[in-house]
Amino acid sequence: MIKEQIQKLIQTRPLVIDGAMGTQLQNADIPQNAWLDDKGIDQEGCNELLNATAPEILTQIHTAYAQAGADMIKTNTFGSMPWVLDEYDMGERSYELSKLGAKIVKDVCTKFSTLEKPRFVLGAIGPGTKLPSLKHIDYDTMYEGYCVTAQGLADGGVDVFLLETCQDPLQIKAAIHALQDTTPHIPIMVSATIEI
C-alpha cells in the first residue's frame, strides 16, 4: 500500500526528504542528564539514546522539517544497530531505541499528513562503525543486528527503510537480507557513498 502510494506520488511531483539529524542535534539545547543511560552512565555522543531520554527535542526537529515541507522524515536511528550500541554497552537496547525513534516520527507524520500531502516515516539505518569487507564484523552478526533494528523500526511505525551512506557491498547485502527476511512488506531505499 505505502509503496504504491509513493510510486503514484513520485509520478506527479518530487518527494522531499528532510535534512541532517546530527547537525540539528549539535545545535539543540540538550540537557546533560539526557545523555545518561538507564545505569546513570554518561553516554554523550550516542544520539540514539535521546529517543528515550529527550523525545521532545527530537519531536521539535522532526516538526520543523515537516513544517518546512518535507514529505519523508528520517528517524534518529542511524546507529541503533546492536554492534554500534555495544560501543556504549547498550547493544541490548537496539530494538527499544529503534522502535522509539520510529514512533516519534510517526506521531509527527500523523499530525502533519493530509490527503494532498501525506508524510512518510523513513527508518534511517546507517552502515555502522564496522564493515564486513574489512573483517571488522562477520556477515552473520551484522545480519542478526539489522534484523533487530528492522523489527524495532517496523513496530514503531516506519513506512520505508533508508539504508544511508552505504559503502561496503557486503554491508548492503546483509542489511537488505535482514530487512527482507524480517519485514518484507516495507519498501527499501538505499543511498551509497562512493569514493573515487
In a domain, 74, yes or no: yes
pLDDT of residue 193: 84
In a domain, 10, yes or no: no
In a domain, 145, yes or no: yes
Q: What is the mean pLDDT of each run of 10 residues along the chain (196 residues)?
A: 93 96 94 96 97 98 98 98 97 98 98 96 96 94 98 98 95 97 96 82
SS3 (DSSP) at 76: coil
Amino acid identity of residue 137, one-letter, is: I
Give the pairing type, strands 120-125 and 72-74.
Answer: parallel
pLDDT of residue 196: 73
In a domain, 125, yes or no: yes
- Residues of the domain holding 119: 51-191
In a domain, 19, yes or no: no
What is the tally of structural domains in the chain? Answer: 1
CA angle 43, 105, 24 (to 5 degrees): 55
pLDDT of residue 119: 98
In a domain, 45, yes or no: no
CB 170 within 8 A of CB 131: yes
CA distance 106 to 100: 10
In a domain, 85, yes or no: yes
CA distance 183 to 48: 22
pLDDT of residue 139: 96
Amino acid identity of residue 167, one-letter, is: Q
In a domain, 35, yes or no: no
Query: Which residues neighbour 29 within 8 Å (Cβ) at sequence distance 6 or greater?
Result: none
pLDDT of residue 194: 80
pLDDT of residue 82: 98
CA distance 35 to 44: 5
CATH code where residue 156 lies? 3.20.20.330
Burial class (CB in 10 A: 0-12, 13-18, 19+), 130: buried
**Global confidence as pTM:** 0.96
